[in-house]
Structure 1
Amino acid sequence: MAYSPSPDNELAGTEQPFVQHLIELRNRIIYCIVGVLVAIVGLAIWPGPSALIDVIAMPIRAHMPPDAKLIAVGVLSPFLVPLKVMMMTAVLIALPWLIFQVWAFVAPGLYSHEKRFALPMIMLGSLLAYVGIAFVQLFVLDKMFEFIQKFAPQSVAATPDVASYVSVILSLYIAFALAFQVPIVVMLLVRFGIVSLEKLRGFRGYFIVLAFVIAAIVTPPDVISQLSLAIPMCLLYEVGLFASRWFAKKEPEGEEASNS
C-alpha cells in the first residue's frame, strides 16, 4: 500500500537525503565566510584597523593622563591586536547575515507557524546583541575604568597593555550580548511548552541569584561591571515574562473542555 501523507502534516514528503543536508550546510557556511570577509575588507578600507582600536580605547583613555597611551608589550601586538579587533567587528557587522544563514538552513524543517515565529525572534536577538554591546561601550566601560582608576596609587602609572585591554572588553562584549538574549530564551521556553509561564514566574527569585553569580564569574572583579550585568539580566527576565503572555501557545478549545 502506498504511503499517503497526512494533510495536516505540511512537512510530509519534504525529507532530503543526508548528503543533500551536508551540501546545504557547506553552502551556508561558505555564505557566512564570504559575508565576514566582505565586512573585513570594508573595515580595512574604512575606517581601518588603527581607527577601530582608537574607538574601543576611548573609555579607558578618558580616565588616563592626557599624554598617556596604551602600551604593546608583545612584539607582534601592534599588528595582531588591531587585526583581532577588526575580525571581531566584522563578525558583529555581519551578525544579521550569519543568523539569516542559520535560519535559511533550518527553515525547510519548520512548520509555517514556526517560521513566522522564528524570523522575528532572530531579528530581535540580533538587535538585543547590538544593544548589549552598545551598553558596554557607552556606559559600562566608562564607569568601570573610572572606578578602577580611583584605586591606582599616585606612584603607579596606569598604562595598560593593549592586548590585555582588548581581551577584557571583547569578553565583556560577548558576555553582555549573550546576557541580553534572556527575553528570547524565556519566550522560546514558553512558546514551545518546555516550561510554563507560571513556573518561570516562580523561578524569579532563583534567577536573580543566578544572574549575580553569572555576573561575578564573567565580569572583572569590580562592583560596577557586575551590577551592570546582573541588573539588566533581571530586568530583561521580567521583560521576557511580560512578553511571553502573547507568545504562549494557546490550547485548542476542545482540549480545554476535555481538561475541565
Structure 2
Amino acid sequence: MKQQTTTRNRNTWLMALLLLSTLFIMASAKAETPKVKNIVLVHGAFADGSGWKGVYDILTRKGYHVTIVQNPLTSLKADVDATNSVINAQDGPVVLAGHSWGGTVITEAGVNRKVASLVYVAAFMPDKGESAGKWVGAAPAAPEAGFTAPDQFGFVYFDPAKFHGGFAGDLSKAQSDFMCASQVPIAGKCFEEPVQNVAWKTKPSYGIVAKSDKALNPGTERTMYTRANAHITELEGSHVVFISHADEVAKVIMAAAAN
C-alpha cells in the first residue's frame, strides 16, 4: 500500500512537472512570436521597391509576410492609394515602413485601421499641412546632392552626376551606377503637396537617422523624429541606409512588430 502511494505521488509530481514545462514552452513561444506578422515596405523618390530586397530577405527568413509597394510617384494621393491597396490586402495588422519620400506616404496611409505602427527610414515625417518640400529646405543642401529641373512632363530626377555621392555613397560605384540608370523620377509637384492625415500622432513610430545622409539632412530627420516622439535609431549610412545596413533596418522593423 505504501509503495502504491509513493508511486501515485511520483506520478502526480511528474505530471505537474510536465504541465509546468509545457506551459513554460508555450509562454516562451508566445513571447517570441511577433504581435504583427505583416510588413509593408514603401520606397521613396528616384528608386523603386527592389531596393528593399535585402530587408525583404531578412524578414521573410524570420517568418514575416512582407509586401513591397511600387509607388507611381505621380502625386501624393496616387502613392497613398497604391499603399492602401497593399495594406487592405493583408490578413491582419501591419507594420508600415517608408524610405525618404515614402515617409510622407506612410504618414497619410498609416491612418488605415490595419496599420499598427510606422517605421521611418531616412524619411520625411511631416505634420498636417506640411509638405516634404518644407523639410527639404529646412537645412542647407549638401554639395553632393542635387536634382534636375522638372522636365516637360513635370518629372524630377536626382542629378546623375551627383547620384553616387549624394544618394548612395556607401554602395559600390557599380551598384550606384545601376540605381542611377534605373532611377524612377518623381513628379515635382509631389514635394509641394501638404499632408492632411497624420498617422504618427496616434500610432507608435520608429525613426532611423542616416548619419551620413546627403540627400536629406540627418539633423532634419532627427528633428522630425524627435517632434513625433518616435523611437530613434542612428546608423552610419547614406540616404539608402536600408540597402547598406539592411540587417540593422530589419531589426528596427522587427522591434516595431513586437511592440
Q: State the TM-score, normalized to the length of structure 2.
A: 0.26
Q: Which protein has the bigger strand share?
A: 2
Name which structure has the greater RCO, CA cutoff 8 Å, separation 6+.
2
Q: Which protein has the bigger helix share?
A: 1
Q: State the TM-score, normalized to the length of structure 1.
A: 0.26
